[in-house]
Structure 1
Amino acid sequence: MVGDFSIHTGVKREFGILDYIHFSLLFVLLAAIGIYHAYKDRKNFDVKHFHLGGRQMHPLLVSFSLVATFLSALTVIGVPAEIYTYGTMYIWLTFGLFVATAGAAHVFLPIFYHLNTTSCFRYLQLRYGTVIRLMVSIMFILQTLLYMGFILYVPSLSFQAVTGLSLWGTMIGVASVCTLYTLLGGMKTVLWTDSLQLIIMFAGLITLLIMGSAKVGGFSKAWQTASEHGRIEFTDFSLDPRTRHSVWSLGIGGGIFWSFLYGVNQSQVQRQCSLPTLRRAQIAVWLNFPGLVLIITLACLIGVVMYACYSECDPVKFGLVDKADQILPLMVLDVLGTTQGLTGIFMACVFSASLSSMSSGLNAMSAIVTEDYLKHFCFKSLSGKRELVFSKLIVLVFGFVMFSVAVIISETDSLVILQLSYSLYAILSGPMFGCFIAGMIFPWTNKHGALAGLITSLGFMSWLGIGALVNRPPGTKPLPVLTDGCNWEVTRTNSSITTVSSTPQSNLSISSVTNEIETDEAIVNNFYRMSYQWYPAFGMLTNIAVSLIVSFITGYTDPSTVNNKLMCPLFYKMFPCLPAKFRHYLYFGVNYEIETSDKKHDEKLDEEVSLFVSSDKCRRDDVCV
């Protein structure tokens, strides 16, 4: 037996008064920050101040927010569950994060920053026209609402597991506070609350890692236990795309997915563009990288310790909890529950991870609806206080929709939450990312090709994602677990768990399994078994390929006519050692010799914007404001 755990003693830890106080203090501080900025900026009616912080934010503050935005409760809870169930290959995602950081800072950010716009989807209008802009922005809103529903549900489920309180009541309270402080303070509040939440995340994860390691006899002991049971694995170099996690799927596939998140996702682009200069924005992006690596690494190490804690009695197989995603909250009670107040701090850590993502999403969707729909179509004269009021009302509406999505998710019987949310999110990520890549890297792409590429890739990704969920072909099996160390039985009353001492149970461990992939099944099942880490890459490449083919068939765009501010000479930058006479061809015919600071060139870009706007006038004046 390992340590002094409730899983062995039959004693269930409880959420104490001090835990509730520490947990509640988080929400009080968040609301206070929102109220403070609302009062401080009460006379400022500039909507760009609400969405971009007046472009006067500090790089360190923005970098904290960038780290916190997408490292939600799905990371804090899901990654340890991933290590517990499948092993440590997930740590290779840190290489993918490096690729994504470099791409965001030096490929995408310069283009978006020089556009000087609130919505990153304005780029698509300048490059392809209105149809693509609206389609992709709608996809982003649907994707973000789905993601926010998950990250509201996951920590609320964990809170229910450790307190027994109502799941719906928790979700209502969290959604209300998050919507309130986002609505009150805008971007400034989001950045400051994200920074506070990131500090709490680090404190919670480090505390759990240290105390959990102490409980099992030190981290080296935990590592040894995990290694003996096959949880330590770093050398899966399989090239088979059906391999769930390999060096290539995590390093390349994961890198492409995170390049989408940090390169062209409205939530992140909006933060990056809140800085006064491009140089500072790039510094903020790079400062965010160590934080990303540290959070992922801490979560993976906690997964190792978590396995050591329950190596002799798997809580899921034994029936103490329903799924692997609930093991971490159980561990928190077992490890931190002996000290009053620590459990509350860690649950604040879990909710901090989700609140940062939710507030960023609410602010981003408000900016998109205001810029891409209200002002673009019928409310062209919308400005000042009136525009600010509309933006805040949109935050309120999306806060309610977010809660509704979380309720729907809570009523479903899902797979492992981390993989399910990633898969569904990635179905839309690849096609969306492909639109930006085809426009920024390949100057020949025209609006017909972009539309065909988007529809085709979205169709393929929907087929892949839905087919995999419906058919559920056999994939990588979880690693073996044991229950022969359990010496008590579990009874349930409503949502609470009651434990009663019992005689030792029989060994219910999973028989020896293999991760080898069968080759004699139908081809379509092999397609469905593609690793979810490759979903964004597959969608992106499909989009680019179809976009270029259709563009050349329908009459490709002349590269010399494309504004160089809308392009990135990626291949030119990737091969600096090539002779100049050959390297010049990697410009693909785009004229990059015009300096971006040239006033005439800037005026030409502004003229293009005006032409697009004027071409989209409402056909009936009586519906325009």
Structure 2
Amino acid sequence: MSTPRTTVAEFTVWDYVVFVIMLLISASIGVYHAIKARGQQSNSQFLLGDRQLRALPVAMSLTASFMSAVTVIGTPAEVYRFGAMFLIFCISYAIVTIVSAEFFLPVFYRLNITSTYEYLNMRFNKLARYIGTIFYITQTVLYTGIVIYAPALALNQVTGLDLWGVLVATGLVCTFYCTLGGLKAVVWTDVFQMGIMISGFLAVIIRGVVIQGSFERIWNISYHGGRLNFWDFDPNPLRRHTFWTIVVGGSFMWTAIYGINQSQVQRYIACKNKFEAKLSLYLNMVGLWITAFCAVFTGLTTYSIYHECDPLTEKKIKASDQLLPYLVMDIMRDYPGVPGLFVAAAYSGTLSTVSSSINALAAVTVEDVIKPYTSLSEQKLAWVTKGLSLMYGVICIGMAALSSLMGSVLQGALSGLAISFLLTMWMGIGGQVYQPLPDQTRPLPLSTAGCFFNITDTPEPVTGSPWTTINQDTEVTSRPVIADTLYSISYLYLSPIGTMLVLILGLIISLLTGGMKNTVDKKLLVTYSDMLCFSYLANKCIRSENTIANEELEGIADTGKVNPTFSDQELNNSEKQNHIVSATHL
């Protein structure tokens, strides 16, 4: 038997080289798109890529934006501590995709808007639009600062990577390519960064399989450790993760992201047509599934290696978000550059999320605050938007610095800010002040019985372990009753609670004030003709009628020759609607 490892490796020159190359490639994509535009970029081109993007890159961008560094580092740690139930989120992703693609997307795409908050002005009034815009800007700036700072802190404490140097560098790189290249640069950089993130996961999984000898052993250890707990149908809302909290709560939470969040909506409405936009969401669903499987199996791999010597219990790390960086530096010490690849993967998540936020913040500011009160040309608005991108990039870096003084993140307050600010913030703060007890969060047992082993030793057969649980310093006697009821409700339920509260109060107030009698423009509502099957029929009908119209105009309808003078995009909105209505009667 070998002596235990008291420390893990630190970054080498090759690790820094890999990390810097990732940053340089990301920046060069912005330079490429800036040169391609050659100073003639309009505001529509800058913010929406002139609405000519294709489904696949947009889908990868949607997935990359969803996968922040918090997800890359946090999800495997979640699986390590609470089990593989996280995989149930794949059901939520499917529900969210269908709802977003079939109900939200058709309306936004039909209205030809840039900011989602323009809809509030059309449907209600300017006040509703400005409230939505202010909430979004506030929420996004706060969240983006945390996204930059949190992974930087975790990686700094484990790898020794300079905290403020990397924090400022990543923030500046994001701001650089967002300001130069606009949405196209953001999307194509996301495509590159998505590949880096998946590569980081695969590097850990492959190395783990080599250490353990097979996938089967990893699965076997995870099974005996209780980590394959996929199904838990306990209806108790105080349970942190169950089938119901994940499927119901998770679906509400992520619908708020994919259905109405500016940074996500802005991507799929930039597609060249509605079919490509819908396809991007469905391809994104597949990307989310792949990401979830990689993250979960990375967590199981981590558990299989440390199942008898938990680094957190042994005080080798200070928090669970340092677990995966610690593992990488531990098992990859003999492979120069690979730890750098993982850090690049984590920061790719940061870059993709931050760049999406910067671009979206600039979009809503221009469309909702500046454009309604000015008569600037598209080129001048593009320069204003670039200036805003630069400004928001600096603000987000500043918020990251401020985050170092803010303490823990309120997971519920931020996610529910836009839908029910006061209630979710109150519950979120209460949940942080009075952490849920272990019998509600139900962390799975960990062990330190095998800490005298080295991970490179020949693994012993799995015969069971004397599990021990991390001590929880929770003073139960000082807790008020509300701490174990309202404050302990699963964070995933904050979004549906806020949503239902807004809907119920909105309907009651509308009934009392006569608002229900107002007529609503049908283009602001989703109809059955917006569904995928009807969209397909409508598309065929439009193409058919365009062909006939062109043949008649050319005077060659009887010859069977076709000269497509008019395109689907040249039909105005009213003509499109007439075609769609006629197609639905087929």
* TM-score, scaled to structure 1: 0.79
Match of 2:46 among 25, 50, 64: 50
Map of 1:532 onto structure 2: 491
Map of 1:152 onto structure 2: 148
1:151-550 equivalent positions in 2, closer than 5 A: 151-376=147-372, 379-414=373-408, 420=409, 422-429=411-418, 431=419, 457-474=420-437, 475-487=440-452, 509-510=468-469, 522-523=481-482, 525-550=484-509
Which residues of structure 2 form unaligned runs of 5+? 454-465, 535-570, 579-586
- Which shifted more, 204-213 or 469-478? 469-478
2:22 and 2:340 map into 1 onto residues whose CA distance is 10
TM-fit CA distance, 1:224: 1.7
Match of 2:89 among 73, 77, 93: 93
1:458 and 1:413 map into 2 onto residues whose CA distance is 20
Map of 1:436 onto structure 2: none
TM-fit CA distance, 1:573: 8.0
Map of 1:556 onto structure 2: 515
TM-fit CA distance, 1:538: 0.7
- Which shifted more, 479-488 or 106-115? 479-488
Match of 1:106 among 102, 109, 118: 102
Secondary structure in 2 matching 1:553 = helix
In 2, are the aligned partners of 1:16 and 1:340 still within 8 Å (CA)?
yes
- 1:318 and 1:130, CA in 2 relative to 1: closer, same or farther beyond 3 A? same
- 1:141 and 1:112, CA in 2 relative to 1: closer, same or farther beyond 3 A? same
TM-fit CA distance, 1:511: 7.0
In 2, are the aligned partners of 1:161 and 1:329 still within 8 Å (CA)?
no
1:572 and 1:597 map into 2 onto residues whose CA distance is 14
1:406 and 1:508 map into 2 onto residues whose CA distance is 38
TM-fit CA distance, 1:523: 4.8
In 1, are the aligned partners of 2:411 and 2:428 still within 8 Å (CA)?
no
1:8 and 1:164 map into 2 onto residues whose CA distance is 21
TM-fit CA distance, 1:218: 2.0
Q: Deviations over 1:478-514 (max 9, x none)?
A: 22222232349xxxxxxxxxxxxxxxxxx9942799x
- 1:468 and 1:334, CA in 2 relative to 1: closer, same or farther beyond 3 A? same
- Which shifted more, 90-99 or 216-225? 216-225
2:515 and 2:530 map into 1 onto residues whose CA distance is 21
Which residues of structure 1 form unaligned runs of 5+? 415-419, 432-456, 489-506, 577-594, 603-625
* Matched residues, number: 524
Map of 1:15 onto structure 2: 11
Map of 2:574 onto structure 1: 598
Secondary structure in 1 matching 2:312 = helix
TM-fit CA distance, 1:408: 2.2
TM-fit CA distance, 1:554: 0.4
1:573 and 1:552 map into 2 onto residues whose CA distance is 30
Which amino acid is 2:365 matched to?
V
- 1:531 and 1:596, CA in 2 relative to 1: closer, same or farther beyond 3 A? farther
Which amino acid is 2:520 matched to?
V
- 1:101 and 1:597, CA in 2 relative to 1: closer, same or farther beyond 3 A? same
1:458 and 1:398 map into 2 onto residues whose CA distance is 23
Map of 2:538 onto structure 1: none
Q: Deviations over 1:43-62 (max 9, x none)?
A: 32310100000011111111
TM-fit CA distance, 1:401: 1.4
TM-fit CA distance, 1:459: 2.2
- 1:341 and 1:166, CA in 2 relative to 1: closer, same or farther beyond 3 A? closer
2:123 and 2:508 map into 1 onto residues whose CA distance is 17
2:468 and 2:399 map into 1 onto residues whose CA distance is 36
TM-fit CA distance, 1:256: 1.2
1:92 and 1:10 map into 2 onto residues whose CA distance is 36
- 1:122 and 1:511, CA in 2 relative to 1: closer, same or farther beyond 3 A? closer
In 1, are the aligned partners of 2:413 and 2:426 still within 8 Å (CA)?
no
Q: Deviations over 1:320-378 (max 9, x none)?
A: 111011010011112222111111112111111111111011000000011111122xx
TM-fit CA distance, 1:11: 5.1
TM-fit CA distance, 1:76: 0.9
Secondary structure in 2 matching 1:8 = coil
TM-fit CA distance, 1:470: 2.4
1:401 and 1:213 map into 2 onto residues whose CA distance is 43
Secondary structure in 2 matching 1:598 = helix
1:222 and 1:355 map into 2 onto residues whose CA distance is 32
2:51 and 2:391 map into 1 onto residues whose CA distance is 26
Residue 124, structure 1, aligned to residue 128, structure 2: no
Q: Deviations over 1:107-166 (max 9, x none)?
A: 000000111111010000111101111111111111111221222123312431343133
TM-fit CA distance, 1:524: 6.1
Map of 2:561 onto structure 1: none
TM-fit CA distance, 1:390: 1.4
1:213 and 1:423 map into 2 onto residues whose CA distance is 36
TM-fit CA distance, 1:469: 1.9
Map of 2:526 onto structure 1: 568
Which amino acid is 1:248 matched to?
W
TM-fit CA distance, 1:564: 1.1
Map of 2:540 onto structure 1: none
- Segments of 4+ moved more than 4 angstroms: 569-574, 599-602
2:434 and 2:152 map into 1 onto residues whose CA distance is 29
* TM-score, scaled to structure 2: 0.84
Secondary structure in 2 matching 1:142 = helix
2:451 and 2:237 map into 1 onto residues whose CA distance is 38
Which amino acid is 2:274 matched to?
L
Residue 65, structure 1, aligned to residue 61, structure 2: yes
Which amino acid is 1:63 matched to?
A
Secondary structure in 1 matching 2:270 = coil
- 1:601 and 1:291, CA in 2 relative to 1: closer, same or farther beyond 3 A? closer
Which amino acid is 1:530 matched to?
I
- 1:487 and 1:54, CA in 2 relative to 1: closer, same or farther beyond 3 A? same
TM-fit CA distance, 1:427: 2.3
